[in-house]
Amino acid sequence: MIARTFALCGADVIVHYFQREERAEGLAERIRDLGVRSCARQADVSSLESVTALREAAALELGPVDIVVSNAVAWHSKIPMLDIPIEEFEAVHRTCVLQAVTLAKVFAPGMIERRWGRFIGISSEVAMQALPNTGPYTAGKRGMDGVLRVLARELGAHQITVNQVAPGWVVSEKDRTDRTERCEAYENALPLRRRGSDQDVANAVAFLASELAAFITGAYLPVCGGNIMPGI
């Protein structure tokens, strides 16, 4: 939905994938049907070499990259932290925290030269909730938060903004397929009394990528119906 929304805003889109080539190629084709350019390219976001190759492929296909959305993460077992294998913590760290570092190292230099750029990390309401059985995920998102806040300070002088969008438990394509859009217990706990959608998340990302948000950097923007409210 984020990729599609960017296309509707007129942006060309590089669709990154790690393993699901067929799905990524299908998405790129649907984006091209919207009248913009798009291609799908594979990369391991935890590898500097792999992300560098992704940048070179993007440059050949579509030109320099001005907007980066960082939203990959390895999943983990939903069990108590003491029972989770160390390897699962390492996998989430590499694909969540190191992802932000590799993407910045590879794409920020070009943005600095052009004096314009956007980095948008997809966080989660869980980063603030620190719920049981979410040890690697919570740690990964909070680690990513630290990386992106430092980047916001380091890249700001070059007119590059760095922000985060933190979705709640939103309705996704899978929910619509499985008819699992409703969950009254969760909805009743939200101030807005309804689940949001992937389109709500995409709208926030598009806003932060636009000139409407040119003076916003270092932000953590919850898109969760008020389920979390960062303190001041």
Q: Show which residues are catalytic.
A: 137
CA distance 99 to 124: 16
Residue bearing tokens 């390219």 = 41
Element (H, E) at 118: strand 117-122
Element (H, E) at 162: strand 160-167
CA distance 107 to 122: 17
Query: Helix 98-114 to helix 135-155 angle, to the nearest 10 degrees?
Result: 20
Nearest partner of 92 among 57, 143, 22, 146, judged by Cα: 143
- SS3 (DSSP) at 38: strand
Residue 13 corresponds to which amino acid? V
How large is the C-alpha radius of gyration of the chain?
A: 18
Nearest partner of 166 among 120, 130, 104, judged by Cα: 120
174 CB neighbour count, 10 Å cutoff: 9
